[in-house]
Amino acid sequence: MRVVELFAGAGGMSLGLKRAGYEIVQAYDSWDKAVAVYRNNVGPHAWQADLKEIFRIGPAVASLAPDVIVGGPPCQDFSTAGDRVEGERAEMTKVFAMIVCIARPPWIVMENVPRASNSKSWAEARAMLMRAGYGLTECKLNASYYGVPQARKRLFVVGRLGEQDGFLESALVAARSAQPMHVRGMLRATDPDDANILASGAFYTRPYYTGRGVRLLDEPAPSVIRTTREAPRPHYLTSPHPDDPVPASNAGLLTQGQVARIQGFPADWDWSSVGSRDIDQMIANAVPAPMAEAVGRAILERECGRTIPALQGRFGSWLAGSCDFSKAAVRNAKSRVNRARRLLGGRTFANGAVELATLEGIEEFARLPTATRSDLRKSLRLYREWQSQAPKARQNNRQKVGLIKAMAA
């Protein structure tokens, strides 16, 4: 699948998608230094551009005929580490949606901080995407469950033309690891800097406001920010957080290279073209590559028809109560919906008539006995009827459908 990335930064998302098997055909970012790092590591297809020039960038992206447009619009206006005032940077979320609406790729992926989900900018961008025909899965994911030794909580929006909202929800849940990744799992005893951290058994990161500064190695790191690797200040040393497991003076200090690895960059990533402060900023802004890879693999699996969405909610209870189905009949109806979805290659379709028409056109479906075809159609119609009658589904359809609590407590 061919990808165009907007707001590409230093290349974390592109790296993850390349690992998943995608072809990155173009990448854009407004920061020339980030573009230089991207080119040094990912490839020469990155270009410096002001994405607000929608009528120049939109047609250029459309001409590339991408299968996927991805991007992480600036998050500072939404971030807990920022002022949380929606300004020009928040408007770039709408710019992302506008470019998508011009190019109309089959798939889209957007990443941002969780607070963006309740922003005015995202509400307007969401409305654009829905009018353009995209079904959206909005997921709040914790990076530590997706191969990253960091409790970085992020909003991922995955869209696909013609789908129902929430269509990829169960696949993203299934992609989670059973346990979060800890910093210890990233460290190598043969590396001198890592050996120092291993010897101390704990590490310090500059906390958000009044948060904890010291963590044990068997915990994920907190979300990386530009100042993560700064040493504790005198005030913190004299007034530490009460939950620190050891004094900050006894905890190891992370190097820039370690912070980059916590954010998912490989140890050999070439940062040589930019200064230290800019590197810290690029690391903090990045989408962790392992997280992007996990999301990318879930999309590829669905694109290839190897997964189907899990049945959501209390469909079985509705069948038993409203339709007077027996337990066996409920099981059969659920099984038939899943069978139909497998025949449809995992598609859910926003329009029920299109879903049934597509099913009729599948050769394997046409070869089934008449009674079996009738049962599959009936089960799909029943599921649609249940969805249309579920009050919570109607209320959440525009604002919060597909939100996954895939973050640690």
> How high is the pLDDT of residue 293?
98
Q: Is the pTM of this model over 0.95?
A: no
Long-range contacts of 339-342 (CB under 8 A, 24+ apart): 339/376, 340/376, 340/377, 340/379, 340/380, 341/308, 341/309, 342/305, 342/308
Low-confidence ranges of the chain (pLDDT < 70): 75-89, 391-409
**What's the topology of domain 2-181+287-305+400-406?**
Rossmann fold (3.40.50)
| Polymer length of the chain | 409
* Rounded Cα–Cα distance for residues 393 and 401 (Å): 7
The domain limits of the chain are 2-181+287-305+400-406, 183-258, 315-389
Q: What is the per-residue pLDDT across 331-388, written as a single tens digit (0 to 9) for each?
A: 999 999 999 999 999 999 999 999 999 999 999 999 999 999 999 999 999 999 998 8
Q: What confidence score (pLDDT) does residue 209 get?
A: 78
Q: Which two tokens stand for residue 203?
A: 């590490």
Predicted confidence at residue 246, as pLDDT, reads 96
At residue 74, the pLDDT reads 84
pLDDT at 112: 94
Alpha helices in 304-351 (DSSP H): 315-322, 327-343
Q: How far apart are CA 375 and CA 355, in angstroms?
A: 15
What pLDDT sits at residue 76?
53
**Mean pLDDT, the chain, whole residue set:** 92
User: What is the reported pLDDT for 397?
Assistant: 42
First to last CA, the chain: 35
Q: Catalytic residue positions? A: 75
